[in-house]
Structure 1
Amino acid sequence: MSDGESILRKHRLEMLATGSTDRQIRRWIDEGMMTRVWRGTYHQGTKLEPWVELALSARSAAERSAADLVLSHAAAAALHGMEVLTFDWCTVEFTRDGRRGGSRDGRRRVHVRRLDAEDIAAVDGLAVTTVARTALDLALAGTFEQAVCSLDAALRMGISRGELAAAMDRLGRRRGIAMLRAALPEADGRSESVGESRSRALMLTWPEIPRPVLQREFFNRAGALEARVDFLFGETVVGEFDGAGKRTKGFDADARLKRDTLLMERGLWPTHWGAGLRRAGSTPDQAPRRSPSARPAARQLLPREFAIRAGVATR
C-alpha cells in the first residue's frame, strides 16, 4: 500500500451518516482542519503536501471515472512517488487510447492519445501510466528543464534508457518530440533530486559554464569517504543544490559547514544555491553563496576566480 493510500479519505455521505453536517464540513475547511480533495471527498487533518493531495484526488477521481481512463501525467507521477518538476498539482489527468479528442471538466482533464498495454501499470488497483510513459508525457507537456527533470526521475527509479526509448517510439508523432529526443541524452539518474536535475538542465543552456562531474566522491588517506558533492566543475569548484531533501536526510547547516571546510582544505571552492536559481538573464531569488553579485549566469553560479579562468569575467 502506498503512502497516499494510507492517508485517510472521508466521503461526505459517510460523515453525514455519522452525525456531521454540511455546515460543520464547511467550517472545518475554512479553519484548515479539512481539505476537499475531490467532489464529496475530504482529508481530515493538517494541510497536505501538494503531491500527496493530488494522489488522493486522483484516487477519488478514478473511482468515479470510466474503466478505459488511465491516470497519467502529474497524477500518475504522484501515485508512483516520482519527484518531478511541475507547476500544476491540482489537475487530475487521464489518458484514453485513441487518435484525437480530449476534454476538460473542472479539475479533470482527459487526453486521447495512443496508449499501448505496455504503457499501463497498476498502482493499488488503479490503472496508471507506467513510470516511463509518465516521464515522457510530463516531458512533452513542459519545458526542456521539465523534460530533463522527468527523465532523471525515471532513471532514478530504475527505468533504463532502453525502456524510455521504446516508450518514446510508441508515442508516434507528438508535438514536442524533437525537444524530448534532445533531452533524453542529457538525462542522468545520478542527480538525486528534482532540484539537482533542474540545476543541471539550466546549466546546459549556459555555454559559459563547463559541464560538471556529478556525485564526485572524496576520500581521506585512510580510504574513508569524506564528502560526496552534487557537482564538480573543472576539479576546482564544488556546486551544491541546498534543497529541503538534504535537510530531511540529516544534512543540516553544521554538517554542511564541516564538509565545506574539508573541501576547502583540499583547495576546492564550495558554492551553494537553492530553488531560486533561474534561467540566464534573470536574478535568483537567493543568490548562490560565495558567488559574485554580477548578474550573468556563470558569475551567479561560480566564484570570481573560476569565472575569470572560464573567460566570463575580468579582474
Structure 2
Amino acid sequence: MDFLAGCIGGAAGVLVGHPFDTVKVRLQVQSVDRPLYRGTFHCFQSIIRQESVFGLYKGIGSPMMGLTFINAIVFGVQGNAMRQLGKDTPTNQFLAGAAAGAIQCVICCPMELAKTRMQMQGTGMRTSSTNKLYKNSLDCLTRIYKREGVRGVNRGMVTTLIRETPGFGVYFLAYDMLTRGLGCEPEDPYMIPKLLFAGGMAGIASWLSTYPVDVIKSRLQADGVGGVNRYSSIADCVRQSVDREGYMVFTRGLTSTLLRAFPVNAATFATVTLVLMYARAGDDCPKDCELAPPTQAPPTEQQAPPTQIQPSSL
C-alpha cells in the first residue's frame, strides 16, 4: 500500500509543480554573460510569451512517468525501512528517508537528465518549432545512450546521490516532527490543512538543505546542449561557477524552487498520508463490518486502536 500511495501522491505533485521546475532549470543554467531572464517572474512571463503556456510543461513526460514510480519507491522503501528499524523515532525517520532517497537515484538521475535536456531545448522559441533535437523524453535518453552509452545516461549520478540521500532524510524527519507538533489526528476537523502545511514545509526544508548541490547537478546535466562541453568534473563545475558568478550562484532559481516546493510536497504528502490512513483503517475493520466478539480483550497500551495511529508515521 505504501507503493500505491506513493504513485498517487507523485502524480499529484508533478501536475502542480512542473512549471516551477522548468523556470528553476532555466534560471540555473542560463549564461551569466547573456542572461535571458532577470528573475523568477520574468522567466515565467518570457516562457509564456515566447513559447506559450505549454513551454512551462516541456519535459513533463519524464517526471510524470518517473516521479510516479520514484514516489512509489521512496514511500515504499521508507515505510519498510521504518518497520525494520522498529521504533518510530526522529533518527529512524531520517535514516529511513535517507535510504529511500539513495535507492531511488537509479531512476531519478536519468529521468532528471531527460527532463533538463527537454526543458532547455527550444529556449526562446515557440513549442511548434520544427528544429527540436528531441521528440520526447524517451527519445532524448535513447539519443544520449547512442552517443555516450550508459555513462551518458547516468550523467550527474554522484551529485544526485549527494542531493537525494540527506535531502530525503530531512524531508521525512521534518514532516514527522511537524505532524506530531501540529497534532494531526484522524478525528481533527483541521487535519487536511495541517497535513498540507506540514508537507509543504517539509519540502522547503529538504530543498534548503541540499539546494547548492542541485545547481551543480543541473549544470552538469545541461552541459553539452548545443554541442559544447564546459565542465570536466564536479569540482571543475563548482570552480568555474564560483569564479564566474561568485557564491551567489548556488542560489540560482531558489525562489522558483521554494514556490514550487510548497504546493508540490503539500499535495504529495497529504495525498499519501490520506491514502494510507483510509487503507489501513479499512484493513483494521472487522470483515463485513461485523462487531468484534464481546470476549475480545481490550487494546493495551502497546496495541493502540486504529484511530490512534499517527499519520506522521506514514
- Pairwise TM-score range, normalised by the shorter structure: under 0.3
Q: Is the radius of gyration larger for structure 1 or structure 2?
A: 1
Greater RCO, CA 8 A, separation 6+: 2
Q: Which has the higher helix share?
A: 2
Between structures 1 and 2, the one with greater strand share: 1
Q: TM-score with structure 1 length normalisation?
A: 0.20
